[in-house]
Amino acid sequence: MRSLTDKKGEQFAYLENNVLYDMDGVATGSLEGDFIVDLVGNRVWRVIGDGVYTKDSAESIGFLGGDHASRDYLD
């Protein structure tokens, strides 16, 4: 699991097996190559290294944290 954290340092989503989930555990998209896409495949954000940016890379959205244990340990 990798956390998706905004510029203020607050986690608002997480990636597990390349599927993006919101903090309620609802799938909202996935990581495909260098982009995070929504559920129908539209590019939403660009991923460069651990940084997450708008599609044109003009503005930072936040960053992806390192790999962590599965969310199951929280339950």
CATH number of 2-64: 2.40.220
Instruction: Check: CB of residue 15 under 8 Å from CB of residue 71.
Output: no
Within a 13 Å sphere around the CA of 55, how many CA atoms are in the beta-carbon half? 5
Beta strands in 1-75 (DSSP E): 2-6, 11-16, 19-22, 27-32, 35-38, 43-48, 51-54, 60-67
Does the pTM exceed 0.85?
no
Are the C-beta atoms of 74 and 9 separated by less than 8 Å? no
Structure tokens at 1: 């699991």
Note the pLDDT of residue 22.
97
Give domain limits for the chain.
2-64
pLDDT in tens, 4-18: 999 999 999 999 999
To the nearest whole number, what is the mean pLDDT of the chain? Answer: 91
